[in-house]
């Protein structure tokens, strides 16, 4: 069987390329050995299911592991205590009796008692836990309970009653046998599950949760993790890729978000390279030319092409992002202010909106500030916010109508793009700066740029330069990179320092030419375009 990359939340080592999880398994095993009750809460598609599967295999020798998912239960089952108790018992019995993955170690007497209990009309949570206690008491090895997608049922009273009994038995496990360790997994963490409970019922969530231990294991992938996975791929396919370089590049885009890492690799393997074993297989660039042998797919150009495909697709992760921003408009406002206005927000986990943003994976803490979690999310959010402003926007409509003149061969004519932007900016705003707020310049330029590169190229904004005075946009277009610095004019000396900063930035990207777009709001400003030499670098500057 030929291995593939997988993004569906569950990987099998013999079927899929996956990051080595041994180090993480040892950390989680330590919590299990210490008999902890804990919650693995991470953002959507963050690899929680894969971790639980791997942990089940990792613990198999010394523990009996009962692993289930509440996603397999319908909402109707959670509406009634008796229905829930029977279905929970049936799920356990199916796992124990399954011929392919039979769970051994429970006494036949305790299993039979559970089967008999289901047939009783009054079989409820109390009876369920009494029988679970008997099963754990007579089991040959300690029993670990793992429940995935636990927050899918968290707004139901039956679920909260279940947690309450689980807590009581767990705290009293010295006198009444019960699970050695309890592991729950979901998006919502302990303190935020209250957000899924109606306000008048908030008191219900406190008791079941106050025993949970902290779970601090990092489930994201670092560049070394990605490198290890790609080395395994390289052994099978011998593409000649620079594994370290490609791993670092993928990490730069994703910050190690598991789904995004795997999806980029999958797109390179299946869409760009085509998954062909033919040595002379080629993949076509969007401008119509061939990039050469299939090994070129695993190059910097191939990664940027995969990122372009990813940013233009619809998937469950991006659908969930749009849904959460609709449900939490204050979170959307914070993200907009960070991206377009360069505002800084001190990270405070007690701030509800920041906490929600971090829980969903959109925000993270960096140097005590709340920042967007990764470059893919940043660009997707830019595209989302800009798309909401395209209808009736003069800059977007104008660029859409004349976009073909900005592409020559496979290259963007950035000089012409900046000149045309200057013309339309002057026509629309003229000498009326009161119609224009400073931070809008960056938004308007991105609105002008988007239809020109849409579907063929992509862009991202460097987070370290996104502030009230300066923003650097890096554009990837058919294997070529262009760096445009946008800034507010604050005098000749400040402008000169900006040119030097841009020259340093070009050196970092191994580019000889860069672009500077300055917004000048002085009454006697001098607009226009000019060429600047800054050391060995050439800069094309436009002042509007």
Beta carbons of 4 and 16 less than 8 angstroms apart? yes
Tell me the pLDDT band of 490, cut-offs 50, 70 and 90: low
Query: Can you tell me the mean pLDDT for 227-233?
Result: 96
294/291 Cα distance (integer angstroms):
8
464/172 Cα distance (integer angstroms):
52
263/152 Cα distance (integer angstroms):
25
Tens of pLDDT, residue by residue over 356-390, are 999 999 999 998 999 999 999 999 999 999 998 88
User: In the numeric block, which tokens belong to residue 441?
Assistant: 């310049």
Superfamily the domain 20-209 falls into: P-loop containing nucleotide triphosphate hydrolases (3.40.50.300)
58/53 Cα distance (integer angstroms):
9
Given the DSSP bridges, would you call strands 480-488 and 470-477 parallel, antiparallel or unpaired? antiparallel
Tens of pLDDT, residue by residue over 306-347, are 999 999 999 999 999 999 999 999 999 999 999 888 788 999
Q: What is the DSSP letter of 214?
A: P
Tens of pLDDT, residue by residue over 128-163, are 999 999 999 999 999 999 999 887 766 678 888 888
Q: 505, 408, 406: which is closest to 449 by C-alpha?
A: 406
Beta carbons of 207 and 164 less than 8 angstroms apart? yes
- Please state, rounded to an integer, the average pLDDT across all residues of the chain: 85
Q: Which residues share a beta bridge with 412?
A: 407
58/446 Cα distance (integer angstroms):
49
Percent of the chain with pLDDT over 90: 53
User: In the numeric block, which tokens belong to residue 161?
Assistant: 């009653």
Q: 214, 185, 265: which is closest to 34 by C-alpha?
A: 214
Given the DSSP bridges, would you call strands 513-519 and 528-534 parallel, antiparallel or unpaired? unpaired
Query: Which comes out higher in pLDDT, residue 471 or 36?
Result: 36
Tens of pLDDT, residue by residue over 185-199, are 988 765 555 455 444
Helix (H) / strand (E) element for 144: namely: strand 143-148
Helix, strand, coil in percent for the chain, rounding step 5: 50, 15, 35
User: In the numeric block, which tokens belong to residue 443?
Assistant: 């938004």
Query: Can you tell me the mean pLDDT for 214-237?
Result: 95
Query: Can you tell me the mean pLDDT for 76-99?
Result: 89
Tell me the pLDDT band of 498, cut-offs 50, 70 and 90: confident
Q: Is residue 458 classed as helix, strand or coil in its secondary structure?
A: strand
Query: Can you tell me the mean pLDDT for 420-427?
Result: 88
Query: Can you tell me the mean pLDDT for 439-465?
Result: 83
Query: Which comes out higher in pLDDT, residue 159 or 292?
Result: 159
Tell me the pLDDT band of 431, cut-offs 50, 70 and 90: low
- Per-domain residue ranges of the chain: 20-209, 223-311, 316-376, 392-543
Return the pLDDT at 494: 64
Question: Would you say residue 286 has pLDDT above 60?
Answer: no
């Amino acid at each position: 069987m030929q291995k593939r990359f997988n993004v569906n939340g569950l990987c099998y080592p013999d079927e899929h390329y996956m990051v080595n999880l041994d180090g993480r398994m040892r950390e989680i095993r330590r919590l299990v050995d210490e008999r902890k009750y804990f919650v693995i809460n991470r953002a959507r598609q963050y690899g929680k299911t894969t971790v639980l599967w791997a942990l089940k295999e990792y613990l198999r020798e010394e523990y009996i592991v009962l692993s289930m998912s509440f996603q397999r239960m319908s909402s109707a089952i959670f509406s009634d205590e008796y229905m829930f108790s029977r279905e929970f018992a049936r799920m356990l019995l199916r796992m124990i009796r399954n011929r392919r993955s039979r769970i051994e170690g429970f006494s036949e007497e305790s299993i039979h008692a559970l089967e008999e209990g289901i047939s009783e009309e009054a079989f409820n949570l109390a009876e369920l836990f009494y029988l679970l206690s008997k099963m754990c008491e007579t089991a040959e090895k300690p029993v670990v309970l793992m429940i995935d997608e636990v927050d899918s049922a968290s707004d139901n009273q039956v679920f909260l009653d279940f947690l309450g009994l689980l807590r009581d038995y767990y705290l009293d496990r010295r006198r009444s046998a019960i699970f050695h360790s309890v592991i729950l997994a979901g998006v919502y963490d302990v303190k935020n599950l209250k957000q899924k409970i109606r306000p008048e019922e908030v008191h219900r969530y406190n008791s079941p949760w106050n025993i949970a231990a902290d779970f601090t294991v990092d489930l994201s992938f670092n560049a070394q993790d990605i490198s290890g996975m790609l080395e395994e791929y390289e052994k099978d396919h011998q593409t000649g890729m620079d594994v370290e370089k490609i791993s670092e590049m993928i990490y730069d885009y994703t910050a190690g978000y598991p789904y995004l890492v795997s999806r980029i690799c999958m797109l390179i393997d299946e869409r760009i390279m085509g998954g062909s074993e033919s040595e002379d297989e080629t993949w076509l660039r969007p401008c119509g030319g061939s990039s050469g042998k299939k090994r070129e797919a695993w190059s910097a150009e191939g990664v940027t092409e995969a990122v372009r495909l990813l940013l233009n697709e619809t998937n469950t992760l991006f659908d969930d992002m749009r849904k959460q921003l609709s449900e939490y408009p204050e979170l959307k406002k914070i993200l907009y202010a960070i991206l377009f206005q360069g505002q800084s927000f001190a990270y405070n986990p007690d701030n509800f909106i920041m906490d929600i943003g971090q829980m969903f994976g959109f925000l993270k803490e960096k140097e005590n500030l709340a920042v967007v979690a990764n470059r893919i999310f940043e660009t997707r959010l830019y595209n989302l916010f800009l798309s909401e402003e395209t209808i009736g926007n003069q800059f977007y409509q104008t660029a859409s109508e004349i976009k073909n003149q900005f592409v020559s061969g496979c290259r963007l004519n950035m000089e012409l793009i900046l000149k045309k932007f200057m013309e339309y900016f002057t026509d629309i705003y003229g000498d009326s700066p009161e119609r224009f707020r400073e931070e809008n310049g960056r938004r308007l330029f991105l609105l002008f740029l988007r239809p020109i590169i849409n579907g063929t190229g992509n862009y991202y904004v460097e987070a370290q330069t996104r502030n009230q005075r300066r923003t650097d946009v890096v554009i990837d277009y058919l294997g070529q990179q262009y760096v445009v610095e946008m800034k507010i004019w604050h005098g000749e000396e400040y402008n000169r320092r900006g040119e030097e900063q841009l020259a340093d930035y070009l050196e970092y990207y191994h580019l000889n030419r860069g672009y500077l777009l300055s917004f000048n709001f002085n009454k006697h400003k001098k607009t226009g375009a000019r060429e600047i030499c800054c050391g060995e670098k050439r800069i094309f500057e436009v002042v509007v």
